[in-house]
Amino acid sequence: MGRLLAIDYGTKRTGIAVSDSLKIIANGLTTVPTHTLFDFLKSYLEKEDVECIVVGLPKQMNNEYSDNMKNIRPFVKKLKTDYPDMKIKYYDERFTSSIAQQAMIDGGLKKKDRQNKTLVDEISAVIILQDYMESLRF
């Protein structure tokens, strides 16, 4: 039974989260510099059983794609080329950065820690994955 892996793709940094093998809990895995993302994925996917990659779909309030979609499309295209047997799903990532910031406040993190964009990206990936898994239960 494979895990789910979520990607919060950014031009500089990419947050990554992974589920437990039962697909109940999403956990932050890491944040990597985006230019090293494929190296990270190659290494991780060789070691771990992942059955689906969930990529955050950047949408605006009016339901149109945000500017980052121009970067995500080629990323997903290469991902599909490199891993043709891997299921790849998009999942709406609206508000994940705001929710991540609020989660850090609620968790008692100091202001300096909340300004850590690496942590925000990883938490955003966790939120994308947890929301995706919850959507499968309905």
Q: What is the mean pLDDT of residues 102-124?
A: 72
Mean confidence (pLDDT) of the chain: 88
User: Strand 13-19 to strand 26-33: parallel, antiparallel, or no bridges (unpaired)?
Assistant: antiparallel
41 versus 92: which is more confidently predicted?
A: 41
Quick one: DSSP state of residue 23?
S
- pLDDT exceeds 70 at position 23: yes
Domains and CATH numbers, the chain: 3-136 (3.30.420.140)
Helices H / strands E in the chain, number of each: 5, 5
Residues 73-85 pLDDT 10s:
999 999 999 999 9
- pLDDT exceeds 70 at position 60: yes
Q: What is the dihedral of CA 108, 120, 113, 27, to 10 degrees?
A: 60
Whole-number Å distance between alpha carbons of 18 and 126: 7
Q: What is the pTM of this model?
A: 0.86
How big is the CA angle at 43 (ends 39 and 45), to the nearest 5 degrees? 115
Residues 95-112 pLDDT 10s:
666 666 666 666 776 777
| Per-residue pLDDT, 115 | 63
